[in-house]
Amino acid sequence: MPERQALQTRAAHGDVVAFEALVRETKAGLYRFVRRYVGDADESYDLTQEAYAAAWLAIRRYDPARSFEPWLWTIAINKCRDWSRRRNIRRLFMGATDLQSAEALAVVDDEACAEDRYDTAEQAQRLHAAIVALPPKLKEPLLLTAIEERTHAEAAEILGLSVKAVEMRVARARQKLAQKLRAEA
């Protein structure tokens, strides 16, 4: 990947065109990850944009000898964590209900639909809500490995953990999800 390395080096030196090329290469995967992390499409779009803006502002500190994606994903994860803390504080002070709760997400469908489609959608919604509710230390490795199909080594690099820690956290996340889904059934 000599072209990728050259692109990363140019971006690290402030080349806007090179940075934009890296954004184009990474935006779909990064948005998908953020969307699964926070559970809201609009918030996800904003957080993804914030991650790229923060990356551009910090681009001179980026080491082009290392892969761009883990560096960028670390920034995005920090943006997600900040968002989560702000949301929890707002809830505490405002007494706001969770907009991602099953009640808030329920939409009346005037059309009759097949029962199996309804069941599948309901199961997917329950799984999505259960993933969003996981603590960040379990949610992050799970999303990176199970959903984004990153290796444990890649997830470890992004999260600044050992591969063993990623493996253990993914296993714990799966256990918690299974327990929560069984309890709701």
Per-residue model confidence as pLDDT tens digits over 76-112: 999 999 888 887 766 655 554 455 555 445 444 444 4
Instruction: List domains and CATH numbers for the chain.
Output: 1-96 (1.10.1740.10), 102-185 (1.10.10.10)
Q: Is the separation of the CB atoms in 173 and 92 below 8 Å?
A: no
75 falls in which pLDDT band (50, 70, 90)?
Answer: very high
Terminal alpha carbon distance of the chain? 48
Q: pTM for the full model?
A: 0.65
pLDDT in tens, 29-71: 999 999 999 988 999 999 999 999 999 999 999 999 899 999 9
- Look up residue 147 and give its two tokens: 């959903």
DSSP track, 118-169: HHHHHHHHHHHHHHHHS-HHHHHHHIIIIIS---HHHHHHHHT--HHHHHHH
Whole-angstrom distance, CA of residue 46 vs CA of residue 155: 23
d(CA 65, CA 160) in angstroms, rounded, equals 17
Q: Residue with structure tokens 């919604």?
A: 125
